[in-house]
Amino acid sequence: MHTMRSIAVALPLLTNGVLAGLYPGLSADNHTCELSDPVLSCSEGAQPGIVDTCCVETFGGLVLATQYWNTYTGLESEGQVLPKDTWTIHGLWPDFCNGSYTQYCDLSRQYDPEPYPNTTTGTPDGTPVEPYNGPGIDKLIEPFGRWDLLAYMKKYWPGLNQPSHVLWAHEYSKHATCFSAFDTECYGPAYRAHEDAVDYFATAVSYYRRLPTWGWLAAGGVRPSNDTATRYSLSEIQGALAAGFLELPYVGCSGPRYNTTEAGRGSADDGYTILTEVWYYFHVFGRPQNAQALPVSANATGGRLSNCARMPGAIWYPERTEGSAV
Ligand SMILES: *[C@@H]1O[C@H](CO)[C@@H](O)[C@H](O)[C@H]1NC(C)=O
Ligand SMILES: *[C@@H]1O[C@H](CO)[C@@H](O)[C@H](O)[C@H]1NC(C)=O
Ligand SMILES: *[C@@H]1O[C@H](CO)[C@@H](O)[C@H](O)[C@H]1NC(C)=O
Ligand SMILES: *[C@@H]1O[C@H](CO)[C@@H](O)[C@H](O)[C@H]1NC(C)=O
Ligand SMILES: *[C@@H]1O[C@H](CO)[C@@H](O)[C@H](O)[C@H]1NC(C)=O
Ligand SMILES: *[C@@H]1O[C@H](CO)[C@@H](O)[C@H](O)[C@H]1NC(C)=O
């Protein structure tokens, strides 16, 4: 679901042809951030060489907290269900300040069993991202004893047609590795393997908890319904979300294009018609982990606000499948 943002050529520096952390040569010392000012990402001063890259986000300074609205998981029979009356976590993404992005920035932290795209650039000339086939990332972080975090992730971060831990590993390896503040050196000389993954998951959760998409929509009168008479306008959805978030997030739709549906036949509106995603954009003060974040509009860097149909009453916010949400 990244197709609306443009992919930039991967920037991580190459050392002997192997991708390493974002800033090779970075020492593991002195990154408690106690002595550093919470400089705002994407501001003039948020540059490596001026600030500690562990304490101010210098690589992926446009932070996206992304959420899904799915109507089933596909693995209900294995107990993977959706949480009732709430959207679910997709991930936390580091876009460049200009709105483009890269992915899989540190192949030494590749735990994604189904890498997508399968090269670092998304084009055949990029470095291949090999599928990981070891123990699930949930197993790798169990030794930290953060059972409450894992339980929260199981509930609010479910995969679609794949075990949830595959989605978590995908988000971690594809995106967390492109934040300067999640580089392993940032965790000090006593860094313990996968500590950054635990930190990334906890951080994604902390953003999610401040972004009650279901409640914001409901407060604006936008509720899931499979009644064919109940359809919403993009402007209603945007109005409801902006009343809560105070800026316009990106609203993503899937399903048929409006002008291929009966209601939209003959229309020039070829936007999609089923509400499925919301992406909240931020600049962040200091480490993204602090979640001291300044909402910015999704079009602030020239990006689109939505791929949904714009005709009034064109969008379906579907009810979840019976038994999928508990
Ligand atoms: C860490 O801080 C100490 C005390 O200020 C200083 O002596 C040392 O050079 C610093 N190390 C690095 C790698 O910045
Ligand atoms: C956006 O910023 C990144 C990182 O600085 C850069 O690599 C890329 O070329 C820029 N893209 C555009 C379209 O300016
Ligand atoms: C990546 O996927 C494409 C399309 O599925 C395939 O043609 C290509 O061989 C794959 N490349 C690598 C490096 O696996
Ligand atoms: C839908 O709209 C697009 C853009 O206006 C147009 O190119 C396309 O031909 C239309 N398709 C149908 C089936 O009307
Ligand atoms: C973003 O979209 C809003 C609403 O359509 C518009 O008023 C604003 O000018 C846009 N901002 C930019 C930077 O394009
Ligand atoms: C509502 O429609 C969606 C999309 O077709 C479907 O997946 C879901 O099961 C339906 N929910 C109910 C309660 O009928």
- Average pLDDT of the residues in 290-301: 96
- Residue range 13-34: mean pLDDT, rounded: 74
Nearest-atom number in ligand 3 for the CA of 129 is: 13
Q: Which atom of ligand 1 is nearest to the CA of 30?
A: 1
* Shortest-distance Cα residue to atom 1 of ligand 5: 299
pTM (predicted TM-score):
0.94
Q: With 90 as the cut, is the pLDDT of residue 124 above it? A: yes
Provide the pLDDT for residue 135.
98
| Alpha carbons 223 and 287: distance in angstroms, whole number | 35
CA of 257 to the centre of ligand 1 (A): 58
Query: Which pLDDT value is given to residue 3?
Result: 44
Residue 21's pLDDT band, with cuts at 50, 70 and 90, is confident
Give burial (CB, 10 Å; 0-12/13-18/19+) of 294. middle
**Residue 126 has what pLDDT?**
93
Quote the tokens at residue 26: 């970075």
Q: Mean pLDDT over all residues of the chain?
A: 94
For 173-199, what is each residue's pLDDT tens digit? 999 999 999 999 999 999 999 999 999
- Angle, alpha carbons 203-96-18 (nearest 5°): 85
Percentage of the chain modeled with pLDDT above 70: 94
Give the pLDDT confidence score for residue 300 in this predicted structure.
95
- Ligand 3: which atom is nearest the Cα of residue 119? 13
300 in contact with ligand 5, CB cutoff 6 A: yes
pLDDT in tens, 228-254: 999 999 999 999 999 999 999 999 999
Q: How far is the CA of 25 from the centre of ligand 4 (A)?
A: 53
Across 138-156, average pLDDT: 98
Ligand 4 pocket by C-beta < 6 Å: which residues?
A: 259-260, 268, 270
Q: Tell me whether residue 171 is one of the annotated catalytic residues.
A: yes
pLDDT at 24: 87
Say if residues 181 and 288 touch (Cβ distance below 8 Å).
yes
User: What pLDDT shows up at residue 7?
Assistant: 59
Residue 3, burial from CB neighbour count under 10 angstroms (0-12, 13-18, 19+): exposed
pLDDT at position 2: 45
Tell me the CA–centroid distance for residue 123 and ligand 6, in Å: 36
Residues 6+ apart with CB under 8 A from 53: 22, 23, 26, 59, 180, 181, 183, 186
Q: Is the pLDDT of residue 20 over 80?
A: no
Q: Residue 140 above 60 pLDDT? A: yes
Percent of the chain with pLDDT over 90: 92
Respond yes or no: is residue 194 known to be catalytic. Answer: no
Q: What is the 3-state secondary structure (H, E, C) of the chain?
A: CCCCCCECCCCCCEECCEECCCCCCCCCCCCCCCCCCCCECCCCCCCECCECCCCCCCCCCEEEEEEECCCCCCCHHHCCCECCCCCEEEEEEEECCCCCECCCCCHHHCCCCCCCCCECCCCCCCCECCCCCCCCHHHHHHHHCCHHHHHHHHHHCCCCCCCHHHHHHHHHHHHHHHCHHHCHHHHCCCCCCCHHHHHHHHHHHHHHHCCCHHHHHHHCCCCCCCCCCCCECHHHHHHHHHHHHCCCCEEEEEEEEHHHCCCCCCCCCCCEEEEEEEEEEEEEECCHHHCCEEEECCCCCCCCCECECCCCCCEECCCCCCCCEC
Nearest-angstrom CA–CA distance, 279 and 285: 19
